[in-house]
Amino acid sequence: MDFFRVENMDDGTRFVFIDNPVDRVNTLSERMFPELGAILDEAAADPPGALVFISAKADNFIVGADIKDFDNVTEPGQASGMITRFHGLLNRIESSPFPVIAAINGPCLGGGLEFALACHFRIATDSDKTVLGLPEIRLGLLPAGGGTQRLPRLIGVRKALPLMLTGRHLDARHAKGIKLVDLVVFPYSLPDTVKKCVAYFKKRFPRKSSAPGLFSLDRLIASVPPARKLYFSMARRQILQETHGNYPAALRLVDCVETGLSKTMADGLHAEAEAFGPLILSPQSKAMRSLFFMQTALKKKKFGDPKPVETIGVLGGGFMGSGIAAVSAEGGYRVLLKDVSWEKLSEAVGSIWKHFDRAVRRKRKNPVERDKFFSLVSPTLDKGSLSRAQVIIEAVFEDVGLKHRVLKEVEDDAAADLIFASNTSAIPISRIAEASSRPENVIGMHYFSPVTRMPLLEVVMTEQCADWVLATVVAVGRRQGKTVIVVKDGPGFYTTRILTPFMLEAVKLIEEGASIREIDSAIRRFGFPVGPLRLIDEVGIEVAAHVARELEGLFSGRDILTPVALDKIPGAGFLGRRKGIGFYDYTSRPWDRLRLPAFKLERPVNRNIYGLFDRPRGKVFDPLEIQARLVYLMMNEAALCLQEGIISTPEDGDIGAVFGLGFPPFLGGPFRYLDNHGAGRTVLEMERLAERLGARFEPAPILVHMAENNDRFYAG
């Protein structure tokens, strides 16, 4: 056998070691099915005392299906047949007359978890690498290996459905808390631990039903048709409210769960197989799978040999600085957090503690992990103490004079190989490096707000930057848990540069008479998680205006101008979400505490802001025009960044836009969307907008060239 190795123990237990011979991780593929079938045939002919599935790999169980196989599917029936064969094997495992145990160490995801769910018992190690989940939704798919049927039956539909719809991962202890696993053990010598546990499981086999209690809501949903209908109706309403129908897999997933609960498990499995085929061929899944492959390739990309880093200094304990300190501590770094007063440091340290404590309350960390990470953060007022750091990340206000001053202060006491990284969103790093005696050690590390949640880090490299400096900060970013793209220096770099015209056009639309709500609603229907005006509120209106002014020189001659009203808004006291009011009113309302996601109430618009604009009244805009004006400007700027070498590949551009700015994942990013939309069609529509609205819509030369030659950014 290629994928499995079978060992019989003296006590009658049979171990099946899973070992993908061509990769360092175990994945499921059709090539494994005949071998698995043969193992089950042998077990049926010669029943063991217990059958244990365990990985021969040191750090993973089964990470999911081999996604590359999906690209070979050409018709829905082909995928449905593959799923039906997988169902047959898992049903045989589930109906075995002897206990079948999954021994899990490391990732157990997607099809790997569905495999484990078919086993009668699950043991998981408490290794920090052990995570369980069904993340298929992130690839535009659904858990079609019985996940939509077995998970709700095991832990209840109210816990199972959110897990599948978010694709969230659980650690072993959280999984045990919801009865997804039966035992949590130390990771050392897992086979020996399993041998000791086999007798325990034999006594409990066949296991009693884990169905929810007689008066539980899960039992009510499963057994009372009106309750079930209401629950799934609310679930669909929430999905449509959040996705606007852009993610068909979510609705198909709910259909499969409901079918299995209202009919039989066999009906539910059939629904899975029938739904999976069309989804795997959908443009949404193809785009999201392309992002997955690009993200995976980016993690493996080499940038040279990094120097070792043990301590990171963070200058500035504000919202961004405290977030950078938190993710650095989670990466295992010692963190020196400096600010100008103990009051500011106290606020920053309190914010960091809240982040870690929230993770404990949500069962994503245990109290020991929280205390360990928190203990790595040391607040200080002494700039001299920063000399112990190998990397200093500056997160002070967006003012080049201030950044010059802190850079000079740091270099006074620093070693010759200290790396100074600026977390600026718009100021060219070369301008900041002008104040440095070692400009080759200065680099940009542009984080996104909130740092603890946003996955992207944009590393900005100047012409003078040393290769080892780049390699080191990329390694730091990856250890902080970030997806890292490397871009060349310039005003706004890549992400801020393509975002600024997008946001300025939204403000210009208000000037022309559009309402705040219709602008944001149109962009959310396009697929962005928030609208541009809500995003400006999140960034801070004063910051957004400052960034727009910073990029004016870049946009001069292209009619991308900062509306006068954008400078007036902060002066009127409308500063954005963190100050309670901006384009929207964020002051608390009594009903906000109810937190009814299926009946989510929109934030009220701050109508006083309209008085700052000289605008016509009562004008209604077509949502498609709003979408075209904003999205075309963003994509055009992305194309210019590729043309000018700010980004080196379309892959970097798509990763940056999706994971940093919320460009719709189901479209694959601006470059993937341009390919699917067609360069010729894009150029034609932009030229029409340019005739009507001005030079800012003139298509980038690279797009014109591609349209003339019927070219694409990606090969397939």
As annotated, the active-site residues are: 458
Q: What is the DSSP string of 359-416?
A: HHHTTSS-HHHHHHHHHTEEEES-GGGGGG-SEEEE---S-HHHHHHHHHHHHHS--T
How big is the chain, counted in residues? 716
For residues 399 and 523, the answer to whether their CB atoms sit within 8 Å is: no
Residue 26 has which token pair? 């175990």
Alpha-helical (H) ranges within 551-597 are: 552-555, 564-571
Write out the H or E segment, with its range, that includes residue 13. Answer: strand 13-18
Kindly give, in sequence order, each residue whose CB lies less than 8 Å from that of residue 655, ignoring residues fewer than 6 positions away: 291, 294, 295, 298, 456, 483, 485, 669
Alpha-helical (H) ranges within 17-166 are: 33-45, 76-94, 111-118, 147-155, 157-166
How many Å from the N-terminal Cα to the C-terminal Cα in the chain?
35
Q: How far is CA 252 from CA 256, 459, 585, in A?
A: 6, 39, 36
What backbone torsions phi and psi does residue 639 show, to the nearest 5 degrees?
-65, -40
Q: Pseudo-torsion of CA 376, 379, 380, 385, nearest 10°?
A: 10
Distance CA 539, CA 175 (A): 36
21 upstream amide cis, omega within 30 of 0: no
Q: Which of 62, 50, 49, 66 is nearest to 18 (CA)?
A: 62
Collapsing DSSP to helix, strand or coil, 676 comes out as helix
Distance CA 156, CA 170 (A): 16
Instruction: State the burial class of residue 416 (Cβ atoms within 10 Å of its Cβ: 0-12, 13-18, 19+).
Output: exposed
Distance CA 649, CA 113 (A): 35
Q: Which of 383, 368, 482, 381 is nearest to 423 (CA)?
A: 482
Distance CA 437, CA 287 (A): 45
Q: What order do you get walking across the sheet with 377-380 strand by strand? A: 377-380, 334-338, 311-315, 391-394, 419-422, 442-447, 456-461, 483-488
Distance CA 12, CA 99 (A): 12
Chain centroid to CA 548: 27
For residues 506 and 630, the answer to whether their CB atoms sit within 8 Å is: yes
Task: Using the structure block, give the residue that is written with the tokens 């250890």.
Answer: 479
Instruction: State the burial class of residue 213 (Cβ atoms within 10 Å of its Cβ: 0-12, 13-18, 19+).
Output: exposed
179 Rama sector, left if φ>0, alpha if ψ -120 to 50, beta otherwise? left
Q: Which of 380, 395, 389, 392 is nearest to 337 (CA)?
A: 380
Residue 400 has which token pair? 């080049």
143 upstream amide cis, omega within 30 of 0: no
Check the CA dihedral 4-6-7-9 and report its sign: positive
Q: Which of 122, 125, 142, 124 is nearest to 134 (CA)?
A: 142
Chain centroid to CA 84: 30
